[in-house]
Structure 1
């Protein structure tokens, strides 16, 4: 159900979802009317392509995104084969996001390049060419493809969008240059969206997918407390681009320096900051927050459920799909 502001509303399948609940989560998300379902590929959890294939196979309508596949983890030609197969089997329902991957994770597996920006540019450029069934002949610093073309029976009838999952200014500029859209990791505020779009500087249609921790409850205090644990990451240096555009960034950095750790930091966040760093509150408040994101330039708002039962958490989240008023 497209929102009254013209954007799509989706949900994320959390990376720590028990594997036996993946199918029930996907079916419930589709039943409730969400437009999109995004799976993630965090190191040590479930594989992204396997999740996407499973979710596509047990649903019939919902659009499925994989955000993100680290460029250093897979040879681009074999990635193109997998993506093309899924897109061919489920035309018009697949989106793929490529990113650097978390530096610490990629270093752990020996896949962090000396120039992440170069790899990202080469990888997305070549992947898009292969998915279009062009003859890909690319000899870059990291990507080497010598005259490869997908065979006629392997070419997708509907070419999926290739987005970039990035956050830094230079990476955002690469996304604007070569990708079909950008996936912004949580937390995403309207100020962060506007800042990111200035760096993306798109000259053609460009999607903006925004992840946010989300909880909806008739008691807004309950919703705020529910999302706090997911905001512990804001205390880490990698999240600096997210907080840089915020008016309370200096106070947030000062709070972070005083706290004993990420969990203590999340518990200490003022309620007003939590309201801005997540989609949390009553159904009316959550719909208003989503409207602000769409007005800032988001095209797909993706909500990350919280709580002990992710499938059950989808039900209150779905109240944002109902028209306001």
Structure 2
């Protein structure tokens, strides 16, 4: 692949306020990142207000929603919001879309179509709206659109999809401009690239047309033990949310994660963290700057062209961004 290498930071973390997220975006811009992405969850912290703050407080860096869902937000509203952010930021916004959570939807009494279907429908409809067209009559969109469904001030915006499963990844290759794929472990990105390539080729496109972000967990510190402990705690918290099939397919032992999850369920969090093995730590990138450089360098050397650094990062997210910006990114740019 010849696509330029990009580095982004997923800055949502535990920061709830728009001001805190904007502060992190400014720091990421100063630290040399190419993009930042905020979170946005139904019944969780909204990242939408923060996107406006980021647009107004930064000047260079690209920024995106990671991700909006097309169920609690109508595709027409999403397209309108994206166009406005493009105008406000000088075309630096990237629209991240995802299927959202069926559990959260059930809390709100929402019964949407299946995840791949609703995401596909939204991508096609939103792209048409952003190009100044109505989605009415387009193959693959939901019923009900009319010819009057046209934005007053459309502004083309790159569309990324938060893709995890094979069908969603393949659809992303066919229809989207980029992919936000959580890669646990990081080497999982190569399987994602293969699946996206297959989808792109079905649509007569090239993988070079897409920005495929390897969204990895990274824990970086001047103290390796501290970095390891932080990632171990993060893995313990999420040990019950990981696909056993995906773990096994990547050479990890699901039983190890099951034991850790059982300790979490018993309320023994410290014991659960202590049970995280070196093998389980392969889910993320961990260590001092030199170790992070080596691990990221291996991914880039094997074909990855966008690495997205996400939580837990470090006890101090600002310190993590500075370590990545001062030591890791310059070294990787010099190497590649």
Into which bin does the TM-score normalised by the smaller protein fall? 0.7 to 0.9
Correspondence 1:51 to 2:50:
yes
Of 138, 157, 161, the residue aligned with 2:158 is: 161
**Counterpart in 1 of 2:305?**
299
The higher relative CO (CA closer than 8 Å, separation ≥ 6) is in 1
RMSD: 2.7
Query: Shift of residue 256 of structure 1?
Result: 4.6
Distance 1:254 1:228, change over 3 A: closer
**Counterpart in 1 of 2:213?**
209
**Counterpart in 1 of 2:323?**
316
Distance 1:150 1:51, change over 3 A: same
**Counterpart in 2 of 1:145?**
145
Distance 1:234 1:22, change over 3 A: closer
Equivalent positions of 1:29-40 (< 5 A) are 29-40=28-39
**Counterpart in 2 of 1:14?**
12
Which secondary structure state, in structure 1, belongs to the residue aligned with residue 59 of structure 2? Answer: coil
**Counterpart in 2 of 1:230?**
234
Equivalent positions of 1:1-325 (< 5 A) are 6-19=4-17, 20-138=19-137, 142=142, 144-147=144-147, 148-151=149-152, 154-156=153-155, 159-185=156-182, 187-190=184-187, 192-200=188-196, 201=198, 202-203=200-201, 204=205, 205-232=209-236, 234-237=238-241, 239-240=243-244, 242-253=246-257, 255-256=259-260, 259-261=263-265, 263=269, 265-274=272-281, 276-306=282-312, 307-318=314-325, 319-323=327-331
More strand by percentage:
1
TM-score by length of 2: 0.83
Query: Shift of residue 183 of structure 1?
Result: 0.8
Query: Shift of residue 271 of structure 1?
Result: 2.3
Say how many residue pairs are matched: 316
Q: Structure 2 regions of 5+ residues with no counterpart?
A: none
Q: Structure 1 regions of 5+ residues with no counterpart?
A: none
Q: Distance in 1 between matches of 2:243 and 2:61?
A: 30
TM-score by length of 1: 0.86
Which secondary structure state, in structure 2, belongs to the residue aligned with residue 301 of structure 1? Answer: strand
Whether the 8 Å contact between 2:218 and 2:285 is mirrored in structure 1 is: yes
